[in-house]
Amino acid sequence: MAESSEYLKIKEYVERFLTENLAPELYYHDVEHTKQVVSAVEEIGVGEGLDAETIELLKIAAWFHDTGYTKKYIGHEDESKEIARSYLSAIGYDEHKIQRICSLIDATRYKHEPENIEEACLLDADRLSVGKVSFILRGEKLRREWEIFMNKFHSDQEWYEVQVNYLKETVFYTNYAYKNYTLLKDNNIEKFYILRENATPESITTRIRKKTLKRSKKVVKILWQLLAIGLLFSLSVTFTVWGFQEYSLVTGLIAGTIMGLLLRFFEKPYETAVEKKITFPFSIFARTLILVFLFLASIGFSAVIYAILLSRKPSAEVYADKIEFVFSTPENIFRFLILAFLLSFLFNFVKLASRILGPRVLRNYMLGKYFRPHNEERIFMFIDINSSTALAEKLGPHKYHLLLSDFFKDISSAIEDSKGEIYQYVGDEVVVTWSMKDGIKKNNCVRCFFDIEKNITRLRHQYENNYGIRPDFKAGLHGGNVITAEVGQIKSEIVFHGDVVNTSERILSQCHPLGKKFLVSEYVIRKLNLLPYYEAEFVSAIRLKGKGSEMGLYSIRVAEGVSNRLSRQA
């Protein structure tokens, strides 16, 4: 096909631009990839019977479609459009054609559905490698690229699963590509099935080992935390009462172990049955009494164990010498009880204070992690109850407050299970945040939304009986770099400063106009490994208020038939 002088000039410019500006670590999205897309779009365009002018326009869009990778990795389409517009305008290219080229580049966004044959041709050309023998080798280049630019690491087994899912979800939009490349694409799926099966024995063993190690670490961590509280408490009291003796150490260790185990098994049932129904002062008082009682019981029990198993003296003599000594004088009784009450009050005050601040926030305060501003990558999710104004008018202030209180309580377990932190409550909104690592791992930030939805659905009859409605909600999710720091003197708080927080809220505001319950930015979508548990759907590329460039927004849904697998994954 004859090429115009104008096209040849554009081709020469873009090829030189990519060669000089693309990072060498772009192993997949390199100049060779762009050339392959240009060749493929011409092949498909001819196969679809498009005229020469349209094919040339498609080839120009193909040349420019990945130029944005010279500026940024995620969201490169906007940069590609700007580079194309800037150059083509400078050489006096037709403005109408520039608009068409930019629209075509925009269509290459992840999960975009083509709106016309031109977009379909370019999309198929961009993904035509799925129907080629070289797909496996090209995929390894993409795997290396993701490790560098997206911090996404996959074992062989995980990568084969990613590739199988990608191939299965990829469909060709043009008749030409469907007829000529579907069979080859299916062959690639079979190849990855074989690779996955060959990797299965070792991967399953490794996975079981990792899960066992992870669960063991979790159990050890929980037990150690509780045992540490019990040991610190009991050793402090025993050393104060009996002095630094062998008996004090052994008895304290036994008592601490007993207390730690009791706290481990009865802490959550107590919180559910009692603590959530009483005020903070009563909770402090009740917890202090319980801890003192546990200590007295465990000290008595540990003294018996010590006398039977470790002491050379008769049990009666040990009891008379050690236990009766504690209660032999009013001074000893007072010293023992006052110290036990003080330590118990201190431990329980810290425990209950962590409920107000959040356990991770309290820990960061105590460690001084954010005393100086700290740059980190985080994910934010804004959750908002729908039609809150109408609900408030219908229910009245008091009942509406109870609704919010129940809603915030009922979503807490999902947030905690997904390793999220509640940043703040703003009216009927709750802001949840994750470190990027915790949020991406096992799709925690996405799973949190669907777990919340599951919890509220499960409790729908309770809400309907109490308030006449089941609260419906929406959420916006985004991530990026923020500055985290302590602010305030009279009232200190850990806050997050940066465009990410504002953008997350603006994404939430688009849920209603776009008719979606859950919107996620392209930045987060690209970081996640959704398949096979979730499916993303491109919704729109919009310019949010205050933003210079457009942002791709996606909705996410649970893949069919995987609810049980999700439960196991969690």
pLDDT band with cut points at 50, 70 and 90 for residue 202: very low
369-569 maps to CATH 3.30.70.1230 = yes
DSSP H/E element including 379: strand 374-385
Task: Say what the pLDDT of residue 241 is.
Answer: 60
Q: What is the mean pLDDT of residues 74-91?
A: 93
Contact by Cβ (8 Å): 237, 336? yes
Task: Say what the pLDDT of residue 550 is.
Answer: 78
Contact by Cβ (8 Å): 385, 407? yes
Task: Say what the pLDDT of residue 155 is.
Answer: 84
pLDDT band with cut points at 50, 70 and 90 for residue 556: very high
Task: Say what the pLDDT of residue 222 is.
Answer: 58
In 3-state terms, what secondary structure has residue 420? coil
Residue 80, C-beta contacts closer than 8 angstroms, at least 6 positions apart: 64, 65, 66, 67, 68, 69, 105
d(CA 94, CA 457): 55
Task: Say what the pLDDT of residue 568 is.
Answer: 46
CATH number for the domain running over 5-126: 1.10.3210.10
Residue 379, C-beta contacts closer than 8 angstroms, at least 6 positions apart: 433, 434, 435, 436, 439, 440, 445, 477, 478, 479, 524
For the chain, give every domain's residue range: 5-126, 153-357, 369-569
d(CA 362, CA 355): 9
- For residue range 284-304, list pLDDT tens digits in order: 777 777 777 777 777 777 767
Q: How many Cα neighbours within 13 Å face the side chain of 76?
A: 17
Burial (CB < 10 A; 0-12, 13-18, 19+), residue 130, is buried
d(CA 503, CA 565): 32
Most confident stretch, 88-102, 279-293, 326-340: 88-102
Please name which of 86, 87, 21, 31 lies closest in space to residue 62, comparing C-alpha atoms: 31
Residue 469, C-beta contacts closer than 8 angstroms, at least 6 positions apart: 391, 463
- What is the value of pTM for the model shown? 0.72
- For residue range 96-146, list pLDDT tens digits in order: 999 999 999 999 998 888 999 999 999 999 999 999 989 999 999 999 999
